[in-house]
Chain A
Amino acid sequence: MIAERVAASTVSEAREGGKRPAARAPAPSVASGATCPTCGGSIRINDGDRSVRCGYCGSALLVATPRGVQSFILRPKITPAKARLAGIRYLAEKTNNRLRTRHAAIADLKLIHVPFWRLRGRLMGWVSGERTALVKVETVSDDPSTSQVRTTVREERKPYSRLVFKRVDWSAPACVLPCLGLQGISLRTDFLDWDALDDRKRSEHTIALPVRSERRVRRDALSFLKRLVVPAGTNVRASRFHFFDSRLSLYYYPVYLLRYGCAGRLYTITIDGGNGAVVRGDVPRKRSVDSKKLFFAPAALAFLAATWLPLVLIPVLVLYALDTAGAKRFLPPHEWLASRINGILGSED
């Protein structure tokens, strides 16, 4: 049996002292939302399986390519009370216990299932272009009498091409939620117990609607991955990519949005409904007093108050000394001052 031979080859390899073949991570099993056509039982399907056996009647079933997009939902693992507690703790921690529940009034706590697009599959492609690198070039002067070496920086372009073949697991929020704080859920999806989202579950939960279309998501994912496979400083001249074995699905992840009011303003704290961690939170800023302003402004005023008299007297004295020296005789100060004032204001004579 060929199947046994391949299995045996990997086993014998391990026995012979070679490294153990990399263990395949158990494929996450999800309730597909589909039912067995023979007995009507719910079917759980491992990721990537094309044929399964019904867990109830034992019928062999074919899993054909799903039409459209499959949706999954995760039930929250924490209760609203725990989410509220996590929010309050976060608030106290972030404000150094300055702000507590007695200062902030909790307006509401909502459980929302936020949609995330997830694209899995394999990407094969080819990219070609030019890679730009800055190269330092040292040139010796032509004049033999001088041994001057000039260093110049030159832009050098080298042809670049690469065949790309990689597994893809990409996810991104499917809706615009400024206070969400989650960028993707690829890792979470493998370890959590997701249920297929059907009409009944849809009516039971508050779910945010995806705003990005399937086509746009595929385009976004492809452009993101293209950027990922091309190193910085590469001018791509041509590329061709193909996603295959790909599965696009929507995952509705639970988050609690805790809104509270403080000093006439509303703030939001986002709590992960899966593990109770605060993923993002707004806290009122403490009215801080600028110590520089507190010190420098009074110091400048004090300096001016202490020095305004000498600052006026010194120029007057210098002017008086100059005039006395110019006249070569002693000028009575009051007469000199009167003549100066007359000179500035203008005499009536």
Chain B
Amino acid sequence: MTETLCIKPLRCGHCGRELPVMGQLVTFQCPDCSRYWVLSRDSLEPVTVYRAAPAEAGAGNGDGSCVYLPFWVVEVDGAGLKIQIDEAVKELQSAAQAVIRTGYEGEDVKKLPAASEISHLAARIESLGIFKVYVPAFKSLNTYAYLKVGRLLTRIQPSFGLERSDGAGHPILCALRAEEAVALVDFIFFATLPESIQSNGDFLDKIFLSPARPPRLVEFPFKERGASLVSVIGGFWISGRLVQGVESLVE
């Protein structure tokens, strides 16, 4: 049982310049070369940060200043996910038929979700090709913010353009590591499902989402409207209180 913290000098892996101290945040930007770094298990890894731009030109150019909130975007192969869903349904169906044959009705009877909802879900996932799960990476006072914002974006599956974010003096408010984001993908996906499927544990127990490629760190623009933040992409709103300001996180 080792009991030492791994303390290292916080320096840019490219130019060697000291990086700014970010408190609980895990992303750093070099003030000299503007490169972004993200804390992996025990070292800094280079990361490309993207910024989402609305697909339609002119959208989101209204009044109010924008706040950019970071998300890990995990891409899941839709075809693979559909195969998993089909197999889960098949397995549950065969279990149900075995029960009908034996006439046994006990607690262990596997239940099937509504066929129409499953087929609708499978068709939608297949049509998307690549299914994106959005894992919020910002720090929040309200732990349900992760679920709420992630669920809203994942459910909408918005289309947007991507541009590299590499302007100097632009810190990213990311407080979640990439490997942690990947581990949360299942739960955010489950939160987007209809209630009848969500309540079917036998079905969900067989679904495991695996990322098709490494997650990407994307900043999404939100506009301030009073106490709320309105998503420029997707159009939904969240309470501004869900997002923890960086004044308490950054020195």
Contact = CB atoms under 8 A, between A and B. Distances in A.
Contacts of B191: 163
The 9 closest A-B pairs by CB, nearest first: A128-B201, A238-B201, A64-B42, A68-B2, A238-B205, A64-B6, A161-B199, A60-B10, A159-B199
Interface in A212-266: 214, 235-240, 242, 244-245
Given A22-B141, A161-B198, A161-B201, A49 B4 contact: no
Summarize A's interface: helix, strand, loop or mixed: strand
B19 interface: yes
Contacts of B8: 37, 61-62, 64
B199 A128 contact: yes
A239 B19 CA distance: 41
A69 B204 contact: no
A5 B65 contact: yes
Contacts of B229: 9
A129 B5 CA distance: 41
Contact of B41 (A60, A64, A128, A165): A64
B147 A163 contact: yes
A184 B199 CA distance: 34
A178 interface: no
A43 B42 CA distance: 18
A205 interface: no
A37 B18 CA distance: 14
A240 B202 CA distance: 12
B7 A62 contact: yes
B23 interface: yes
Nearest to B183: A242
Given A9-B224, A34-B4, A65 B42 contact: yes
Interface of B: 1-11, 18-26, 28, 39, 41-44, 65-68, 107, 141, 143-144, 146-147, 169-171, 173, 176, 180, 183-184, 186-187, 190-191, 195, 198-202, 204-205, 224, 226-227, 229, 240-241, 243-248, 250-251
Contacts of B66: 5
B227 A18 contact: yes
Contacts of A197: 3
A66 interface: yes
A160 interface: yes
Contacts of B22: 50-51
A245 B39 CA distance: 13
Given A33-B3, A50-B23, A63-B5, A21 B173 contact: no
A3 B3 contact: no
B167 to A, nearest CB: 10
A228 B107 CA distance: 23
Contact of A2 (B28, B170, B240): B170
A180 B202 CA distance: 43
Given A3-B250, A51-B22, A33 B205 contact: no
Contacts of A198: 3
A60 B144 contact: no
A65 B6 contact: yes
B226 to A, nearest CB: 7
B67 A122 contact: no
A213 B246 CA distance: 37
Nearest to B244: A24
A240 B205 contact: yes
Given A65-B41, A237-B201, 6 more contacts: A1-B170, A51-B21, A70-B5, A128-B204, A240-B205, A242-B186
Interface string A1-40: 1110111011011001010011010000000111111100
Contacts of B169: 1
A167 B28 CA distance: 25
A245 B198 CA distance: 25
A34 B5 contact: yes
Given A33-B3, A53-B21, A167-B143, A13 B9 contact: no
Contacts of A208: none
A59 interface: yes
A45 interface: yes
B3 A51 contact: no
A50 to B, nearest CB: 5
A122 B143 contact: yes
A45 B43 CA distance: 18
